[in-house]
Amino acid sequence: MTGAADTLERSLTNSMIVAAYREKTPTSERLAAEAHELFPSGLTHDSRHLTPYGIYVERAEGSHKWDVDGNDYVDYFGGHGALILGHGHPDIRAAAHGALDDGTHFGSGHEMEIRWAKLITRLLPSAEKVRFTASGTEATHMALRIARAFTGRPRILRFLGHFHGWHDHMASGVHSHFDGSPTPGVLDDVAGAVTLCPPGNIDAVKNAFQTHNDIAAVILEPIGSQTGQVPHPPGFLTELREVTRAYGALLIFDEVVTGFRVSRGGAQAHYGVMPDLTTLAKIVSGGVPGGAVAGREDLLELLDFGAAVRNGRAKIGHQGTYNANPLTAAAGVAALTIIAETDACERASRSAASLRSSLNAVIEEASVPWAAYGEFSMFHIFTNPKGRAIKAGEFDPLDHDFEELALKPKETIHKLRLALLINGVDVTGWPGGTVSVAHGEADMSHTAEAFARALHLLRQDGEL
């Protein structure tokens, strides 16, 4: 066990919150013990890490999920952001069932992939052509490859804290290795071909372009790092567009979370800033595994057999057994049809705004120096690691730098999550979550009450 994990384990040993959690979730505890025998840390995704163990879920519907002990939770994990329409939307369910009946893999083209790509090019303003992948990680990997092949330059500029999946070029500077050094298993040369800039700092970007004449692309989460926890100052995207154009580098928006959430046309439509390439996953595939790269035709042409012959150059190779598989395509078409034809994005955003203000009312009532903040259909809890005097309802994340917003007191957050689980609410480890159209008034008031009780428990446990 590492030092930090050891401290966390010890701080939780005598906790009343942990004792109550164990009492409520005995079957999850048993399954977690079994999982430990099979998976590193008993986990299949780092973001699901929770000490002493996470819940095991049996079933989900709408805004709720039920664990193996029969406990009911209002869910803000939202399938890691994939489920803006909630769990098990009837249209997506019907489409997926139909696809299962017709066959899940044809090893050939099918009409649904065309319908799917047409919806993407209709909704996403900068999408002229599309290539499907099996995940968001694969999509960002491909986007970098296209950028390098197009520009003939090796270097990628990223921002500290921005998450783009787990492949080698994206590993440093997200949760650790903020100096750009390689994380375990990554080659020095790969990490060395990435320049990391402080988020939202256009001068740092300009300096990087002046220092390095080999930058192929800038990639970022367009609403700020990790689903908007560290937002950009106004105008940043426009300036970034101008700088990248001036230096002949591509601008890649990673809209894996923001695509079809921030607005029907993603962050690019909302801000009116057009990237050269966009990476997509999550909502695009209706909550089943999938992803895509979309963008300028002359860039996607680098994957084209005919264009390679015409231009006398090698094409970018791209396989992928599950690219545009019929099941994913059917779910994606169903999800994007609802996004296109209803006000789902606006409704989810309105519900999240109301949730953020209820949480802030609870925080102020409890006199805790925290704040709930965020934009669109997201919420984040600022846990004030530097103990500043803040007023929850007036909190502005732009007054705080990356380090302060990203710094999280691990013990307190684990306990907050456990205290919320005891009270029937599941939030992510940011801490925060995404809100769907399925979250209604009753969910919001239940969440606010659960949050008030959780703060009380944290106080009793000596955390506040």
| Beta carbon of residue 47, minimum distance to ligand PLP (angstroms, whole number) | 8
In the Cβ-directed half-sphere of 103, how many Cα atoms lie within 13 Å?
7
| Beta carbon of residue 229, minimum distance to ligand PLP (angstroms, whole number) | 11
CB nearer ligand PLP, residue 46 or residue 297: 46
| Beta carbon of residue 136, minimum distance to ligand PLP (angstroms, whole number) | 2
| Beta carbon of residue 291, minimum distance to ligand PLP (angstroms, whole number) | 6
CB nearer ligand PLP, residue 153 or residue 282: 282
DSSP 239-258: HHHHHHHHTT-EEEEE-TTT
CB nearer ligand PLP, residue 12 or residue 288: 288
CB nearer ligand PLP, residue 289 or residue 369: 289
Listed in sequence order, the residues at least 6 apart from 118 whose beta carbon sits closer than 8 Å to its beta carbon are none
Listed in sequence order, the residues at least 6 apart from 82 whose beta carbon sits closer than 8 Å to its beta carbon are 281, 282, 283, 285, 286, 287
Measured over the CA atoms of residue 326, residue 331, residue 336 and residue 341, the dihedral's sign is: positive
Listed in sequence order, the residues at least 6 apart from 318 whose beta carbon sits closer than 8 Å to its beta carbon are 131, 142, 303
Q: How far apart are CA 127 and CA 5, in angstroms?
A: 44
CB nearer ligand PLP, residue 129 or residue 164: 164
Helices 441-460 and 410-422 pack at an angle, to 10 degrees, of 130
E strands, 183-323, are 194-197, 215-220, 250-254, 277-281, 291-295
Asked whether 248 and 215 are in contact (CB, 8 A), the reply is no
| Beta carbon of residue 163, minimum distance to ligand PLP (angstroms, whole number) | 5
| Beta carbon of residue 429, minimum distance to ligand PLP (angstroms, whole number) | 12
- The residue number with the shortest CB distance to ligand PLP is 136
Q: How far apart are CA 250 and CA 147, in angstroms?
A: 7
CB nearer ligand PLP, residue 252 or residue 457: 252
CB nearer ligand PLP, residue 96 or residue 174: 174
| Beta carbon of residue 59, minimum distance to ligand PLP (angstroms, whole number) | 23
Q: How far apart are CA 96 and CA 103, in angstroms?
A: 11
Q: Cα-atom radius of gyration of the chain, to the nearest Å?
A: 22
| Beta carbon of residue 166, minimum distance to ligand PLP (angstroms, whole number) | 7
CB nearer ligand PLP, residue 24 or residue 228: 228
| Beta carbon of residue 84, minimum distance to ligand PLP (angstroms, whole number) | 14
CB nearer ligand PLP, residue 164 or residue 446: 164
Sheet of 371-373: strand order equals 371-373, 378-382, 432-434
CB nearer ligand PLP, residue 212 or residue 408: 408
| Beta carbon of residue 133, minimum distance to ligand PLP (angstroms, whole number) | 9
CB nearer ligand PLP, residue 55 or residue 281: 281
Asked whether 174 and 166 are in contact (CB, 8 A), the reply is no
| Beta carbon of residue 301, minimum distance to ligand PLP (angstroms, whole number) | 24
> Where do the H-state alpha helices sit in 224-290?
225-228, 236-246, 266-271
Q: How far apart are CA 206 and CA 270, in angstroms?
A: 25
CA distances from 376 to 131, 136, 349, 433 (A): 27, 21, 4, 11
Rounded to 5°, angle at Cα 202 from 197 and 207: 65
Q: What is the binding site for ligand PLP (CB under 6 A)?
A: 80, 135-137, 140, 163-165, 221, 254, 256-257, 281, 291
For the chain, what is the largest distance between any 2 Cα atoms, rounded to a whole number of angstroms? 71
| Beta carbon of residue 266, minimum distance to ligand PLP (angstroms, whole number) | 12
Q: How far apart are CA 134 and CA 284, in angstroms?
A: 11
Asked whether 355 and 74 are in contact (CB, 8 A), the reply is no
Could you tell me which residues are beta bridge partners of residue 281? 291
Lookup: tokens for 188: 């020095």
CB nearer ligand PLP, residue 293 or residue 458: 293
